[in-house]
Each structure stands twice: as C-alpha cells, then as structure tokens.
Amino acid sequence: MSDQRHVISRKDYKEPDFFVEKVELVFDLEREVTNVKSRLFIHANPARGTGVDDEVFLHGEDMKLVSVSINERRLASGDFTVDQEGLRFTAPREAFIAEIETQISPANNTRLEGLYVSQSAFCTQCEAEGFRRITYFPDRPDVMATFKVTINADKSSCPVLLSNGNLIDSGDLDGGRHFAVWEDPFPKPSYLFALVAGDLACVEDSFKTVSGRDVALRIFVEHGNEDRCDYAMDSLKRSMKWDEDVYGLEYDLDLFNIVAVSDFNMGAMENKSLNVFNAKYILAKPDTATDMDFELIESIVAHEYFHNWSGNRVTCRDWFQLSLKEGLTVFRDQEFSADQRSRPVQRIKDVAQLRARQFPEDGGPLAHPVRPDSYMEINNFYTATVYEKGAELIRMMHTLLGPDGYRKGIDLYFDRHDGQAVTCDDFAKAMEDANDIDFTQLKLWYSQAGTPKLWWEGDYDADAKQYRITLTQKTDPTPGQSDKKPLHMPVSIGLLGADGNDIAAKTVELTEATQEFVFDGVTEKPVVSFNRGFSAPVNVMTDQPDAELVFLMGNDSDAFNRWEAGQKYATRLILSAISNFEENDGNADAALNDVAVAVDAFIGAMQATLLNDGLDKAFRADALVLPGEEFISEQRKPANPDAIHQVRNALRKRIGVALMDDFENTYHQNASNAAFTPDALSAGQRALRATALGYLVASGEARFADLASDQYKASDNMTDQMAALSVLNHLDHPGRADALADFENRFAKDGVVLDKWFALQAMSSRDDTLARVKDLMGHPAFTMRNPNKVRSLIGAFAVGNPRHFHAKDGSGYEFYTDRLIELDDINPQVAARLCAPLGKWAKYDDDRADMMKAALQRILAKEDISRDLYEIASKSAA
Ligand code: PHE
Ligand code: ZN
C-alpha cells in the first residue's frame, strides 16, 4: 500500500544524473515471450554535482531481466540490484555502453502500456511511462536519445514492421522470419518510441512540403478497412498544409505513418513519424461513421500531426509540464477545425465541452492546476484541465497578443527550444520576450486551480454618453489551495443599441479583484453582450433579464453569445421549473405551467432562431439544443436527476408541440437526395434536420416515431441512421427493436461501429436499461479487455445516463462499482478514468451521496488496488 500512496512533487524536480545519447534496440517478437536487447550509450550529466554517488538508476517494471553488461563485461548478480521500480548499478568513470536483455509478454499485457497485442498485431504505447515495461531505461522526458531499432518477426504473420524515423535496412532471416531496421535521426524521449508489427493493409498518398520535399503518407489498418481511410488521409494533408500556412512549421522526415489499432487506452498517440490511433478515430465511410465521427477524426489526426512540433521537436522537461504540449496542441487543433469549418460553431462546441468536462473537474475533488504540483500516477493527469483549460490559457495569450504578437512568440519559442525538453515557464518567457510584455499574473492560470467566478454591473450616464462597467472576480478554494489571487483575463464586451447593432465593442484586461472600465460615446442605454466568444474561461454569475436574453438571442453580432443567451435562458427556466417540480410532487407539466410566460417567450425566441435563414444551419442546430442533464446537474445542489430528466423532457415536448409545423417543414426541406459528403455545410443541414426530428418525436405524436423508424430504414448514411436511432432509443416503438436488430446484424463483425450500438442501449432512458446492460456484458462482441467496449457500454451508462446511474435504489452504483473493481485487474488506467463519476457525490442528496461514498470505500478496500485507481478513488472519497 505504501507504494500506492507515494506522491511525486513538482518542486522535487532534479536534472538527470545520466543522459543517454543513443539507443540501439533489437526486438525478437513473439506473442508469449519477446526478447529485447538494448545498447545504451550513457554519459554523466556534466552539470551534476561532484562527489555525488555514481549510481545509475534505470526504470523498469514487470519484466524479466536476462542480463546486464557494462562495456561488454557482464555484471555478476552482486553488481546490480533490481526491485519493483528498476535497476541500479555503479557507473564507470567515463561515458560507457550498457547492454541489457529483457523478456516481456505482449500477449499477456492487458494494461495496454508498453508492448502489447491488439487483434493480431504487435504495438506499443509508451506515453507516459510505458517504455519502462519494454526495457530498463531512464524513462523520463528530459532524457533524449536517437533510436536505432531492429525488429525480427515471423514474416507471414507480421509482414509489416514499423518503428520511428527512416527504414535503413530489411531482409529475410532463417525459419520464416524477417527483419527491418529503423533509425530516427531526431533525439527523442522514450515516451515517443513506437513499434508496430503485423499483417496490416496500407493506404498510401503523398504530400509536397512548402520547401518542395515529397513526404510519403501511409495509413495502416486491418485488412478490409482500406476503404475507410480517405477522410483521415485528407485530414492529414490539410493539417500539414495548415501548419505551414499558419505556424510556418514544415514536416521534417520523408515518411509519416499512421496505424489504427482496435485496443487503445486513449484517442491517439503522437510517436515520432509513427502515430498510433484508436481505430475509432481513423476508420470512416458514410455508412459507418457519423458527421461527428468525421469531425473527431479530422481534429485528432490534426492534433497528433501538430505534436510533431509542439511536443516532439520541443518536448516536456517533466510530466508536470504536460500542458506545455497538450494545451498548446489542443489550441492548435481547435483553430485548425475553426478554419476548416465554422469558427463560431467550433467555439460553441469547444466551450460546451469545457463546461461539461473541465468545469466539474475544477469544482470537484480532483481539481488541480493546469500545471499540477503533485501526482501519484501521471496517467491520471491526462485531464480536461491539462488539455482543455490549458488550451484556454494559450487562447488568452493569443487574444492578449493578437495574431501577429502570438506568432512572434511562437516563432521565438520554436527557435529557442528546438530539440529541448522545456517547461511552461519557458513557453511563457518566449511569448513575453518576443512581445516585451509581462505575463507574471497571467501565469497564475498555470498554477491556480478552480474556475473563476465573474460578476459585472453596468451604469449608463446619458449626459456624459458613458457606460461604465464594473467587473468583480473571485475563485473559490480547491483541495490544497485555499487562497486564490485575482487573475489576468481578457474580457470581450459588446454594447448593443435598440436596433440590435453594436454601439461599441472592446476587449478589456481584468487584473484586479474589482475593476471599472468605461465606454465613451454611448448614445443610448445599451444591452450588454458580456464575455463574447468566451474570451475568459470563467463562470459569469450575473443574470440578465429574460427580455435582454431574448434580444441577444436574436441580435448579437457575436454568434457565440447568441447561443450563450439561449443556453442561459433555458438553464434558468429549467432550474426554476425543477424547484416547482419538487414542490408540486413531481409533476413536470404543472412545474412548467408555473413559469408559463417565460416558457412562451423562450419558445418564441427558439422559433425565431429556427426560422432565421441568415444563420448557418449547424449553428441553428446547436442553438436549439437544450443544455444537457449533466450540465444542469452542475448548476444545482443537490442535483435531482429524476427532476432534471423529467423537466427537461417536458420542456422539449412543449417546444415540439408549439413549433410542430415549423419543425415539420424544417425536416422535409432539409432532406437531401445528393450523395453523402462529410463537409461542414452538409453536416449542418443533417444536424438541423436531426434536431427537428428530435423535437417532433418529443411532441409525443405517434406518427413522428414512425417517421424516425422510416428514416432509419430509408437512409444510406450512418449520420441519419443514428439520428433516427437515438430518438427511437428511448421509446417503446417497434421500430426501435427492428432498428437495433438490423444494426447488430450489419455490424456484428465491426468493432468500431458496433460500439455505437452498445452505447445507445446503455444510454436509453427506458426502465429496462440496467438489466439490458447486464445482458450485453455477455454479448459475444463484448469484452472487458477492449477499452472502447468498456467505455461504450459501462462508461456511457455512468456518463450518458444520469437517471439510471443515479437510480435511487443504488442499483446503478452497485453495478458500476463491481465493474471498476473487475477492470482494475485488467486495465488500471481505464478503471481509474471511469472512477471519476463516483467522485461527484457532494452534488447529490444525502442518500445518493452516502451510496456513492460507500462505493468508493468498497473500491479502496480492493486487494492489490492499482496506483491509478487508488489515487482517483482516495481523492474522490476525501
Ligand atoms: N499524447 C496523446 C495525445 O494527446 C494522448 C495519450 C496519452 C495517448 C497517453 C496515450 C497515452 O495526443
Ligand atoms: Zn496531445
């Protein structure tokens, strides 16, 4: 247990005592026992103090050590020690070569860290600390080496042999085996090492870089999936071009490989020139992938490609600096998507995601700064805070510096630090130096956890034609951080006149706890559009009257704030109806009747949005969606999942009934006979039509459920089929069972697609859902060893089905807790990630909170609990 509790602190960082300049690896690949020989060219860090002991420490876990030699002399067993953490021996005086032989078992690696088998292929995952499960090595990102990798494997089962860099040799060996030698000229940390070997199909294309070099682009997939790579390939080429155009960054090798694997803990991994992807984020064709899948593929392919500079050429000094590469790269992929699609729609999506995932994290037991101060298990820090809040921090720098100043800072950063492992402070320093600006206060966003609250108060002086606005900020305490300082943040504010046009607009820089800003030349009392574009990633606390929100929904020149006004209005309406619901003994209709005037005004504003042809369809689709149940539950304490579910549905029904004709017209006008294309415009049209269908079904009129059922049968693309299925999913309509059966038949052998089918059923609000989920655990395609399956069935139940997960009788918690305990022995990283929903007990009533806490205690009592799960469960229980 003491091992589990070991805390690593940022302030304890020490430079490595030894560096590795070059690594030569030889893999003899076998599923049961793979032999790994490593030659390490090691020298002492010249900056190391003299007189310190000259012990060399190499990380290593769960391996069999066969032998260690130093400068070709084999060490006797008394000359080194091995424990659970690694290998220690005494270093010679001069630079030396260590040769280490280990044995590992890819077929038995269910954690999917290090070298493992996915379907029939061998693949690796080394970030963050997987390399130490392959061989003994200083497995930390500030040790950067060039890698030369020899792979020996059976030729018929592994015709494809890949690693990082360039292929420099290959050929046949005895016994039906063959080999390939790869050399990566760019020094890199061990977490960027990758190896793939298997019988894979290859789709090939090429890209000419700005300086005229031809780069071969290859995507490797399981046989039969060759026709599902087009969109990923196209996204890759557009990413390469965009990085040249917008950041002046060119690709640096002649080869770029992507491999799609079925078993993967995360989304994808940016290994140098050999990106490995969760197959879900590569494979797509119109009849297997939805518009949302296409969008995700585009952004994740871009994200991993962009890491070649922001992550690989310049990497992290230590894992506390993770946001150095992740926050920056998320910001880069968000901007790429904004340029490829609709900028406001992209921003809406990114903010909705931030508020749904990061704000709750920042307000709960797992709150931590963008640059954490400590961790037990680094795997647990690939979080929405490090990624998405980290991206907001970079976005604020972009806003404050403007595009040119930002680019100057970026240029200096890459110039100064190319080939180095650096810190978030180094990044901020480059931004400061290039722009002669002081970011001392802005950098508090790296170190201070919690979502700031922001209030505003306006005062119009007609005589002086002045509008004065006073901003007040406050950040609540978070675990381990009781005193919060005022932050530096850009706040974009617009003032609208009665005609709906802007009278004035500017971005102010808030630095004090309370601060006043003045707008001059304001000729009439304005309506305020506050925090446009979500320029500051905060919770705006100030309420605006219903009428102002309706006005903003119809007029704001900032599309984000048009959407935001609608969300605010809907949230307020739902929250007050929930209070009525609780007083009215659970009658959702009566609850809405009590706020009938506001409901009518809201529906009028929704109608205006629906019918406004000047707005793009993707935007209208987003603007018509009510805030989700999870989001609403964050706004209220205690959250009442039944009330939220019923009131939100009752409001959807009212909207559906009131605007039935408009939705019906929208539905039919947006039908398309053209062949499916995944572009943003067509996707927007499909999204608007799906929204209309959703409201029509919500109206309760039976003919619309038939319509959904017909749509499922008639459409030739997954987007329209899923739109139909996801509304049928909650009904008792016979079309539901038919569609689910058809889906299961068509995709029985298609893991990535069948995951949608598992997730749908897990998210159904029908009463039989939990029983069905339990049954599905026994489905032939389900396995606890595949993270996508676990996330689709079990994860989706907890995150996408608040009503059943939080069932009053505790059945949801009980089922879920059993699964986490079971999963911890298979894949601790995934188990730990899935544990977070149980940590939200403080948001619920006492009965539920007690059951959730008891569930956490049950997890903590598990024998041999992993460090991953222990950290999340213990922090969540506190
Ligand atoms: N570095 C990967 C990314 O963000 C994420 C990842 C982390 C993948 C750890 C695997 C393991 O692109
Ligand atoms: Zn990343």
What pLDDT sits at residue 439?
A: 98
Query: Which bound ligand lies closest to the C-alpha atom of 113?
Result: 1
- Model pLDDT, residue 47: 87
The two structure tokens encoding residue 577? 């109806």
Q: In the prediction, which pLDDT does 48 show?
A: 80
Q: How far is 361 from 381, CA to CA, in rounded Å?
A: 12
* Residue 303 in contact with ligand 1 by CB distance below 6 A: yes
- Cβ–Cβ under 8 Å, residues 7 and 376: yes
Cα dihedral 9, 15, 21, 23 in deg (nearest 10): -20
For residue 1, pLDDT beyond 60: no
- Ligand 1 atom at minimum distance from 387 CA: 4
Identify the residue whose C-alpha is closest to ligand 1 atom 9: 127
- Return the pLDDT at 584: 82
CA of 388 to the centre of ligand 1 (A): 14
Question: Going by CA atoms, what residue is nearest to atom 5 of ligand 1?
Answer: 269
- pLDDT at residue 50, rounded to an integer: 62
Q: How far does the centroid of ligand 2 lie from the alpha carbon of residue 300, in Å?
A: 9
Where would I find the H helices in 782-810?
A: 787-790, 796-800, 802-805
pLDDT band (50, 70, 90) for residue 744: very high
Dihedral sign of CA atoms 225, 230, 231, 233 in order = positive
Residue 672 has pLDDT above 50, yes or no: yes
ipTM: 0.99
Identify which of 706, 715, 671, 713 has the alpha carbon closest to the alpha carbon of residue 689: 671
Helix (H, G, I), strand (E, B) or coil at 571: helix
Give the residue among 27, 272, 55 at the shortest CA–CA distance from 135: 27
User: Which pLDDT band holds residue 761 (cuts at 50, 70, 90)?
Assistant: very high
Confirm or reject: Cβ of 430 under 6 Å from ligand 1.
no
User: Burial, 355: exposed, middle or buried (Cβ in 10 Å; 0-12, 13-18, 19+)?
Assistant: buried
Atom of ligand 1 nearest to the CA of 379: 9
Mean pLDDT in residue range 507-515: 98
Helix (H) / strand (E) element for 201: namely strand 201-208
List the strands of the sheet with 527-530, edge to edge. Answer: 502-510, 489-496, 527-530
CA of 274 to the centre of ligand 2 (A): 14
The residue type found at 411 is D
DSSP H helices in 480-616: 546-555, 559-583, 588-593, 596-611
In this structure, the residue with its CA closest to atom 1 of ligand 1 is 269
- Tell whether the model's pLDDT for residue 53 goes beyond 80: no
Q: What confidence tens digit (pLDDT) does each residue in 386-420 have?
A: 999 999 999 999 999 999 999 999 999 999 999 99
Band (pLDDT 50/70/90 cuts) for residue 737 is very high
pLDDT confidence of residue 229: 98
From atom 11 of ligand 1, which residue's Cα is the shortest distance away? 127
Identity of residue 475: T
- Paired tokens of 277: 């992807």
What are 354-383's pLDDT values in tens digits? 999 999 999 999 999 999 999 999 999 999
Residue closest by Cα to atom 12 of ligand 1:
269
C-beta atoms surrounding 435 within 10 Å: 19
Strands (E), 211-291: 214-221, 255-261, 268-269, 274-278
> What pTM was computed for the model?
0.98
595 Cβ inside 6 Å of ligand 1: no
CA-CA distance, 272 to 254, in Å (whole number)? 12
Q: If you average pLDDT over residues 735-743, what whole number do you get?
A: 98
Q: 207-210, long-range: CB within 8 Å, 24+ apart, which pairs?
A: 207/236, 207/237, 207/240, 207/241, 207/251, 207/256, 209/240, 209/244, 209/250, 209/251, 210/244, 210/250
Q: What is the mean pLDDT of the chain?
A: 97
The confidence score (pLDDT) of residue 279 equals 98
pLDDT of residue 792: 98
Contact 647, 577 (CB under 8 A): yes
Q: Tokens for 387?
A: 């990624």
What SS3 state is found at 220? strand
- pLDDT tens for 418-439 read 999 999 999 999 999 999 999 9
CA of 270 to the centre of ligand 1 (A): 7
Active site residues: 304
pLDDT score at 49: 67
For position 2, what pLDDT does the model report? 44
The alpha carbon torsion through 165, 193, 208, 218 (nearest 10 deg) reads 90
Q: Are 540 and 469 in contact (CB under 8 A)?
A: no
> Does any ligand 1 atom lie closer than 6 A to the CB of residue 302?
no
What spacing in Å lies between the alpha carbon of 328 and ligand 2's midpoint?
9
Strand partners, 34: 104
* CB atoms near residue 85 (< 10 Å): 14
Q: Which atom of ligand 1 is nearest to the CA of 307?
A: 12
